Amino acid sequence: MTAVRCVDLCKTYCQGDQDIKALDHVSIEIAESGFVCLSAPSGGGKTTLLNAIGGLDIPDSGEVYVAGQRIDNLSKGALAELRLRQIGFVFQAYNLIPVLTARENVEFVMQVQGVAAADRHEKSTAILKEVGLEGLEDRRPAEMSGGQQQRVAVARAIASKPSLVLADEPTANLDSKTSDELMELFTHLNEHHKTTFVIATHDRRVMKYARRLIRMLDGRIVDDIDQRAA
Amino acid sequence: MHLFGVLFQLAWRNLWRNHRRTIIMLGAIGVGVWAMIFMTALTRGMVDQMVTDSIGILPGHVQIHNPDYLDDPSISNRISYTDTELRQKFESAGFESWASRVRVPAIVTSERDSRGVTLLGVDPVAEKDISFFDYAEVEGRFLSDSGDKGIVIGGKLADKLETGLGKRIVIMSQDPDNDIADRGFRIVGLYSANTSAVEEAYAYIGKSTAQAMLGIGDTSTEVVFLGTEYRNVEPVYEAVAERVDERVSVQRWYEIDTYLGTMLGVMDGFVLVWVIVIFLALSFGLVNTLVMAVFERVREIGLMLALGMKPGSILGQIIIESMLLLTLGLATGNLLAWATIMPLRDGIDISIVGEGMEMWGASSMLYPKLYLGDMVLASVVVLLLGFLASLSPAWRASRYEPVEAITKA
């Protein structure tokens, strides 16, 4: 079963007088439970592709399918609903809502989904324990380290059990030890929850965790490597 | 409901995120609301007193006259009902109080001077609850009964006539045949009023004495009725109207004293305009606070949109934040207004501008009136206009593109 399918995606941005091709006829398929890294230098198109898959950005042309549903032609409201129900996001920074505690951040998506309070509490407790933040539930983001904050973001992304987690440079602001811990957590969650992970990164240490590595350059896919075979 | 819960939680916490700014804005709203209510209470107090005093002096709440009397207030245009008929019609009608009067223009002459006055022939017992002064506070005494042969005038009139208690003055008016009707009276009492204009204007004699002097039998020129509330005189008006025929006309107080009636309407409008003007000044601060709050949270709003929160929810969150701020400001302002008006209930001495106030028919003591309706009006206007003012920043926040907002520097 295919978790994500992109067909001939094109996206061009205007930067001053120049047109920048962020996506240039990109087509990929990502299987369910996949663990994929999109790798590219800055401006290579990996974040644009991630945003297109997540319904945050609409391509100029081409088609995007998530869990078999075409999403590039959905309304803003329908895209928001899709992101709420099916996709978890982990961003590079500014990942958490600063006025909420770790637990409240984790419960945020579930709360918007309308999950009952007791159910939310049970799930957030379990997931925070799973990501190693037991005892820090009532801390606000400002009272936690960068690594702990990213763990909360991961916990939030997977708490409502989305079929797909999209992570954009999740380790960019973390030291190497914390980066490794986070990637091990991703691997663990991928293996145990069968969640599909698509991670945009240019960090080599992150790439080695992926089972599949897609390299991009100037908006095009230049390499697609099955790292298990390698 | 679950969504409202999360929006309320976010709005409340965001409100206190920059607590200094919030406290300053709360202070501004609180002072603004206090100013709205305090000034309204002063205005209401002044107008209430002017109306109440004026109603007490002249119209009561409802009056009946001969239909021609208001155009020509002479004794010829008196009511055709006799005192007995009036008692039969109104005695058991359940009015707070009512009294019939003989009221005619007259000249009062002392040994030194003469003045034009309004002569009131009253039954002191019936008039007691309607009178604008307390009989017990009259220097000397008030009239003992309808047939009392004395006269009670204002202290100021006595000064002008250079006369005093115990001295004799002559009252001169016209009888129904347009002949001079005059009589000498001994001054038995001097009354005080809130304004010297009133003290100069009215002279009281017994009603039977007036009827005898003018030769009008047991008829009167006006009957005055008092209800419980000058703003709601309809029940009294209807009760009077159904008991009389076309030989008399029935008027409400604001139809008799159109100046006062108009002024009351103008003051009601003024209160609303005052509340709106104050709010407009406040709205700049409110909108600025919200715009800053939204501007500071662009990334966060982008994040919430990216996580699946709908634009409408973002809009709702900002509006809830605005409403919370306004509600707290309103509570502060209302409390402040109550706390500052209550100690002034016994009156503010404004005698320093007393003469100017007299021009408007107001006394030199101002009694602020705090009405629940005015507090509600201020609160509703602030919330309603605050809601409208917060729509723009809230709408702007809800229109962010998540990708652009998240990457905003």
Interface residue B406 vs chain A (CB under 8 A): yes
- Residue B338: pLDDT band with limits 50, 70, 90: very high
Please tell me the predicted confidence (pLDDT) of residue B190.
95
Q: Which of B293, B291, B295 is nearest to B283 (CA)?
A: B291
Please tell me the predicted confidence (pLDDT) of residue B363.
62
Interface residue A105 vs chain B (CB under 8 A): no
Domain ranges of chain A: 2-226
Nearest to A97 among B2, B303, B305 (CB): B303
- Residue B96: pLDDT band with limits 50, 70, 90: confident
Say which residue the tokens 């709601």 belong to: B232
Taking only the tens place, the pLDDT of each residue in A165-193 is 999 988 887 788 888 888 998 898 898 88
The residue with greater pLDDT, B357 or A126, is A126
Domain ranges of chain B: 2-54+261-406, 62-253
Does the distance separating the beta carbons of B306 and A83 come in below 8 Å? Answer: yes
Does the distance separating the beta carbons of A56 and B303 come in below 8 Å? Answer: no
Shortest alpha-carbon distance between residue B270 and chain A (Å): 43
**What number is the average pLDDT over the span B247-257?**
87
Shortest alpha-carbon distance between residue B408 and chain A (Å): 11
Does the distance separating the beta carbons of A80 and B6 come in below 8 Å? Answer: no
> Above pLDDT 90, what percent of chain B?
38
Does the distance separating the beta carbons of B3 and A98 come in below 8 Å? Answer: no
Interface residue B324 vs chain A (CB under 8 A): no
Q: Which 8-state DSSP code applies to residue B22?
A: H
> Above pLDDT 90, what percent of chain A?
59
Interface residue B5 vs chain A (CB under 8 A): yes
Residue of A nearest to B298 (CA): A94
**What number is the average pLDDT over the span B343-354?**
76
SS3 A198: strand
**Separation of alpha carbons B27 and B30, rounded Å:** 5
Is the pLDDT reported for residue B355 higher than 70?
Answer: no
Taking only the tens place, the pLDDT of each residue in B394-405 is 998 898 888 888
Does the distance separating the beta carbons of B307 and A91 come in below 8 Å? Answer: no
Interface residue A99 vs chain B (CB under 8 A): yes
Shortest alpha-carbon distance between residue B308 and chain A (Å): 4
Please tell me the predicted confidence (pLDDT) of residue B353.
62
Q: Lowest-pLDDT range, A9-18, A113-122, A209-218?
A: A9-18
Is the pLDDT reported for residue B1 higher than 70?
Answer: no
Say which residue the tokens 């206009």 belong to: B385
* CATH code for residues A2-226: 3.40.50.300
Residue of B nearest to A47 (CA): B403
Is the pLDDT reported for residue A220 higher than 70?
Answer: yes
Please tell me the predicted confidence (pLDDT) of residue A42.
83
Is the pLDDT reported for residue B358 higher than 60?
Answer: no
Quick one: residue A11, left, alpha or beta (phi over 0 = left, psi -120 to 50 = alpha)? Answer: beta
How many Cβ contacts (< 8 angstroms) between chains A and B? 68
Please tell me the predicted confidence (pLDDT) of residue B404.
84
> Above pLDDT 70, what percent of chain B?
95
Interface residue A141 vs chain B (CB under 8 A): no
Does the distance separating the beta carbons of B306 and A91 come in below 8 Å? Answer: yes
- Residues of chain A neighbouring B305 (CB-CB closer than 8 A): 80
Please tell me the predicted confidence (pLDDT) of residue A229.
64
Contact B74, B104 (CB under 8 A): yes
- Residue A19: pLDDT band with limits 50, 70, 90: confident
Nearest to A89 among B10, B307, B313 (CB): B307
Does the distance separating the beta carbons of A94 and B307 come in below 8 Å? Answer: no
Taking only the tens place, the pLDDT of each residue in B144-191 is 999 999 999 999 999 999 999 999 999 999 999 889 999 999 999 999
Taking only the tens place, the pLDDT of each residue in B31-75 is 988 988 898 888 888 887 777 777 666 668 899 999 998 888 888
Taking only the tens place, the pLDDT of each residue in B19-33 is 888 898 899 889 988
Interface of B with A in 9-68 (CB under 8 A): 9-10, 13-14, 17
Strand partners, B104: B119
Taking only the tens place, the pLDDT of each residue in A122-165 is 999 998 988 888 899 999 999 998 889 988 998 898 888 898 99
SS3 B133: coil
Is the pLDDT reported for residue B360 higher than 70?
Answer: no
Does the distance separating the beta carbons of A97 and B300 come in below 8 Å? Answer: yes
- Residue B304: pLDDT band with limits 50, 70, 90: very high
Query: Strands, DSSP E only, in chain A?
Result: 2-15, 18-31, 35-39, 61-66, 69-70, 87-90, 164-168, 196-201, 212-217, 220-226
Which amino acid, B1?
A: M
Residue of B nearest to A79 (CA): B308
Nearest to A112 among B3, B13, B406 (CB): B3
Does the distance separating the beta carbons of A85 and B403 come in below 8 Å? Answer: no
